[in-house]
Amino acid sequence: MKYKLKICGMKIPANITEVVALQPDYIGFIFYPRSKRFIGNLDPLLIKNIPASIKTTGVFVNEELETVKNAIITYNLKAVQLHGQENAAYCEALKGHAEVIKAFGIDENFNFDTLDEYQAYTDYFLFDTQTPDHGGSGKTFSWQLLGNYKNGKPYFLSGGIGIDQLAELEMIKDERLYAIDINSKFELSPGLKDTVLLSTFKQALDKI
């Protein structure tokens, strides 16, 4: 099973160029000011000039809708990842502007039935570890909880995924698993990725 790969949390120009050379399917930029990986004043042209084969993705947390729409235009984003409490109507308002990826923090108390209202207004779900900081914890959640997911929507799997999880990923037999989202386990410092480690992971993932 060939999974798509999303490398998230990019903010350093030279490092972005190196990661783009690895040709992931998605590359993520965090527009949440409280994140250690916030893009800050990164030149929009750097993102706009990324090859179209790589889907540039803006990560937002409870942002004003018009701010997200403006960012899609300014940075020519191909996808938006919504990591807050955005409702289905919010997702609906973004449909057609970019791919809509709605993220949910998963723990033992998560009710997968709450996803049903988002079904028509999203392209993908993203399942991350439940944290107060809207992701970026570097911790995995129990993937056994995905057995409670009865929806047919394809999803990204996120949350502390690194080299050590490759064997577990190979054991997952779920055709709805569309993409693997990686970030902190491949960092030398927040926002600075180890491209050698990324390349090793990507090559191994391609063989799963």
Catalytic positions are 8, 128
- Among 98, 94, 99, CA closest to 123: 99
Distance of CA 178 to the CA centre of its chain: 11
User: How far is it, in rounded angstroms, from Cα 87 to Cα 133?
Assistant: 18
**Residue 133 φ/ψ, nearest 5 degrees:** -100, 15
Radius of gyration (C-alpha) of the chain in whole angstroms: 16
At residue 54's C-alpha, the angle toward residues 40 and 45, to 5°, is 40
Distance of CA 78 to the CA centre of its chain: 12
Structure tokens at 66: 């018009």
* CB 187, CB 193: distance < 8 Å: yes
